[in-house]
């Protein structure tokens, strides 16, 4: 096949020996199956995005750090240099996340390097060596759905303990490899502590996975793993090997504002009645 423009420098530098075929193409990147020596890997070529796309990604970029204050100011002022810095930060976020998550035991594609806007990483395959299917492309038994759900909840917990939330996790961003589910596509990953949208994104990530696997295991739809893990995380009690129950009870005292106001009013009325009783007793003496 014709060598894509983004992969030409890697061919010339000997990083890639052959481009075998296109794997898929989306709005933000194109992925190719490539050969590196005797290894078959995939190359993710990020596309340059316009200003509209950056605005769309604003909730994901909150809390991301850059190397210098000059870069941060430029990003805030949306100068040409700032847009270029945002572009680079978006591309490198996935690389950084893959390296970090691999180290803490989250099953993501193994990264092999980032070269001129191209991420070279593991090609996830099934037990027969074919490109792995997505979580939603497989018909699951109830037992398998429960097994995969338990595993993925554990992976999300590990990510959260590492300070990260995927932010766009769904059946489309999980492949089923020979060794089980593999979480992919992390350019939008956010900081669990520095992004105000992290809690909402975590809820969405967990609910997406639960709804997908809940089709085969309906009991999963009654669980509240996201609320449970976030509550533990906020209290500093969540750890990577946490065993969750899927049960969560809302704090009724915090949520029942109307009930609290009524209690305050009742207490005030009671105080008034007591004072009136004392006043009446004094007049009768």
What's the CATH code of the domain at 10? 1.10.510.10
State the pTM of this model. Answer: 0.79
Whether residue 35 is contained in a domain is answered as yes
User: Is 258 found in the same domain as 124?
Assistant: no
Q: Is 253 helix (H, G, I), strand (E, B) or coil?
A: helix
- Interatomic CA distance for residues 226 and 238, integer angstroms: 12
- Read off φ and ψ for residue 162, nearest 5 degrees: -85, 5
In this predicted structure, what is the pLDDT of residue 37?
96
Residues of the chain with pLDDT under 70: 49-86, 252-285
Q: Which two tokens stand for residue 26?
A: 């989306």
Say which DSSP state 279 is in: H
In this predicted structure, what is the pLDDT of residue 1?
77
Task: Please count the structural domains in the chain.
Answer: 2
- Interatomic CA distance for residues 14 and 9, integer angstroms: 9
User: Is 265 found in the same domain as 167?
Assistant: no
**Closest to 152 measured CA to CA, from 32, 29, 244, 41:** 244
In this predicted structure, what is the pLDDT of residue 262?
52
Whether residue 192 is contained in a domain is answered as yes
User: Is 184 found in the same domain as 79?
Assistant: yes
User: Is 191 found in the same domain as 273?
Assistant: no
User: Is 197 found in the same domain as 274?
Assistant: no
Task: Kindly report the number of other CB atoms within 10 A of residue 202's CB atom.
Answer: 25
Q: Radius of gyration over alpha carbons of the chain, in Å? A: 26
User: Is 88 found in the same domain as 205?
Assistant: yes
Q: Edge-to-edge, what's the strand order for the sheet holding 180-183?
A: 133-134, 174-177, 180-183
- Interatomic CA distance for residues 285 and 222, integer angstroms: 65
Whether residue 81 is contained in a domain is answered as yes
User: Is 150 found in the same domain as 12?
Assistant: yes
Whether residue 240 is contained in a domain is answered as no
Whether residue 105 is contained in a domain is answered as yes
User: Which domain range does residue 273 map to?
Assistant: 253-278
User: Is 267 found in the same domain as 192?
Assistant: no
In this predicted structure, what is the pLDDT of residue 28?
83
Whether residue 58 is contained in a domain is answered as yes
User: Is 160 found in the same domain as 54?
Assistant: yes
Whether residue 283 is contained in a domain is answered as no
User: Is 263 found in the same domain as 173?
Assistant: no
User: Is 96 found in the same domain as 39?
Assistant: yes
Whether residue 154 is contained in a domain is answered as yes
Are the CB atoms for 98 and 17 separated by under 8 Å? no
In this predicted structure, what is the pLDDT of residue 86?
66
């Amino acid at each position: 096949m014709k060598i894509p423009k983004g992969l030409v420098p890697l061919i010339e530098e000997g990083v890639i020996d052959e481009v075998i075929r296109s794997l898929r193409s989306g709005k933000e990147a194109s992925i190719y199956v490539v050969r590196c020596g005797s290894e078959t890997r995939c190359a993710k070529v990020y596309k340059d995005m316009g200003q509209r796309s950056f605005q769309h990604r604003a909730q994901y970029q909150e809390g991301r750090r850059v190397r210098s204050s000059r870069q941060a100011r430029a990003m805030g002022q949306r100068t040409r240099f700032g847009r270029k810095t945002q572009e680079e930060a978006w591309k490198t976020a996935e690389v950084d996340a893959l390296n970090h998550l691999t180290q803490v035991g989250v099953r993501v594609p193994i990264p092999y390097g980032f070269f001129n806007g191209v991420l070279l990483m593991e090609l996830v395959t099934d037990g027969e060596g074919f490109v792995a299917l997505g979580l939603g492309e497989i018909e699951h038994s109830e037992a398998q759905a429960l097994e995969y759900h338990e595993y993925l909840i554990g992976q999300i917990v590990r990510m959260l303990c590492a300070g990260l939330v995927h932010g766009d996790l769904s059946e489309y961003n999980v492949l089923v490899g020979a060794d089980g589910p593999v979480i992919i596509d992390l350019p939008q990953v956010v900081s669990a502590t520095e992004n105000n949208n992290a809690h909402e994104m975590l809820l969405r990530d967990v609910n997406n996975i639960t709804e997908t696997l809940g089709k085969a295991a309906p009991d999963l739809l009654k669980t509240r793993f996201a609320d449970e893990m976030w509550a533990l995380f906020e209290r500093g009690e969540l750890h990577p090997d946490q065993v969750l129950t899927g049960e969560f009870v809302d704090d009724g005292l915090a949520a029942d504002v109307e009930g609290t106001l009524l209690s305050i009013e009742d207490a005030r009325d009671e105080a008034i009645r007591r004072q009136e009783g004392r006043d009446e007793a004094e007049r009768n003496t």
